[in-house]
């Protein structure tokens, strides 16, 4: 048993947690609107920068800054949907897909105008983070990493409870299943879609700020995050929340274990993700938890 195993598992969990936060939102949006939101990674990037502005530039304490990030991202999601996607709701699904690519580019441009294109960091010069050594020093864990894991687990449990047990959550699933029937039962479709956008973008924003807490911020950080979240939902089965989490775990563990135990260098992580994705599409095109696509023909 190599000594680095606990550390690699820990890093895998961290990566999986972030991917899961972004992938669940992406899969929720797909479930309800039937399109892949290519701006989703950029929503995460915006979340990271909003936190930077509030906590680092304005110096607000985190317990004020984090709720504000959540509120800003949720509002951003709702407004963007109302302005850009609602008008094309009846169009074929490539229309919103192309629009989302444009939104991503726009968000990157706006952030660049305000913050510049250089890499930024939350870390304050000279400040020390708490570090814990476990398993006789073979596993080093920082406080911020523990916060990431706990936040992710709480958010995912919260989302599960919301969807399974609240009236609005059930309505969300009903709309995802059959929008037309949901509307004739008096379920407000526009409101439900807004709620989903708010949740999905807020979760992405939190994911973005958490990863920026651990690494750095850059305007282009969303691209790789979006791609990995996309791969996660394909791996797990599109439109399935549990599938998104499972897919995130497969990718988080896959890239870290392979980089950790094979001679493949770390900058090949993205390539590994895509290799996993292609392999999956060959073996099980519907994803690990996905169901066979229903036949369009009515019996």
Partner 1 sequence: MLNIQNLSAGYGGPLILHKVNINVKEGEIVTIIGPNGAGKSTILKSIFGLTDIKEGSIEYFDEELIGVKTGEIIKRGICYVPQGRSIFPSLTVEENLQMGAFIRSDKAVIKKDMAYVYEKFPKLYERRHQKTKTMSGGEQQMVAIGRALMLQPKLLLLDEPSIGLAPKIVCEVFEKCLDIRKGGTAILMVEQNANIALSYSDRGYVLELGQNRIEGSGKQLLKNKQVGELYLGK
**What is the binding site for partner 1 (CB under 8 A)?**
167, 170-171, 173-174, 176-178, 180-188, 298-299
What tokens appear for 265 in the block? Answer: 């260098």
Min dist. Cβ of residue 152 to partner 1 (A): 24
For partner 1, which is the closer residue by CB, 14 or 176?
Answer: 176
Among residues 42, 99, 97, which one has the least CA distance to residue 73? Answer: 42
For partner 1, which is the closer residue by CB, 121 or 188?
Answer: 188
What tokens appear for 113 in the block? Answer: 């105008």
DSSP annotation of 291: P
Where do the H-state alpha helices sit in 34-124?
40-51, 62-80, 94-115
For partner 1, which is the closer residue by CB, 182 or 251?
Answer: 182
Min dist. Cβ of residue 179 to partner 1 (A): 10
What tokens appear for 84 in the block? Answer: 């850009």
Min dist. Cβ of residue 180 to partner 1 (A): 7
Q: How many CB atoms lie within 10 A of CB 117?
A: 11
Min dist. Cβ of residue 170 to partner 1 (A): 5
Among residues 12, 15, 84, 41, which one has the least CA distance to residue 205? Answer: 41
Residue with the two structure tokens 């989903």:
196
């Amino acid at each position: 048993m190599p000594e680095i195993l606990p550390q690699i598992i820990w890093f895998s969990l961290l990566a999986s947690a972030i991917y899961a936060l972004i992938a669940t939102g992406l899969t929720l949006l797909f479930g309800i609107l039937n399109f892949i939101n290519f701006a989703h990674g950029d929503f995460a990037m915006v979340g990271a920068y909003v936190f930077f502005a509030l906590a680092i530039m304005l110096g607000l304490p985190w317990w004020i800054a984090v709720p504000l990030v959540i509120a800003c991202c949720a509002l951003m999601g709702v407004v963007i949907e109302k302005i850009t996607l609602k008008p094309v709701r009846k169009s074929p699904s490539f229309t919103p897909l192309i629009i989302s690519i444009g939104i991503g580019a726009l968000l990157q441009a706006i952030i660049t105008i305000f913050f510049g294109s250089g890499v930024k960091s939350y870390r304050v010069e000279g400040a020390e983070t708490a570090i814990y050594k476990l398993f006789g020093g073979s596993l080093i864990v920082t406080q911020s990493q523990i916060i990431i894991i706990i936040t992710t687990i709480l958010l995912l449990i919260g989302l599960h409870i919301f969807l399974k047990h609240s009236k609005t959550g059930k309505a969300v699933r009903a709309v995802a299943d059959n929008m037309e029937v949901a509307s004739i039962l008096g379920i407000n479709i526009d409101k439900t879609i807004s709620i989903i956008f708010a949740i999905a973008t807020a979760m992405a924003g939190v994911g973005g700020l958490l990863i920026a807490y651990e690494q750095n911020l850059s305007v282009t950080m969303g691209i790789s995050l979006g791609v990995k979240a996309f791969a996660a939902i394909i791996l797990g089965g599109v439109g399935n929340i549990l599938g998104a989490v499972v897919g995130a775990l497969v990718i988080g563990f896959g890239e870290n274990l392979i980089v950790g135990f094979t001679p493949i260098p770390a900058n090949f992580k993205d390539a590994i993700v895509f290799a996993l994705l292609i392999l999956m599409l060959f073996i099980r095109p519907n994803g690990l938890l996905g169901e066979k696509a229903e036949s369009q023909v009515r019996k």
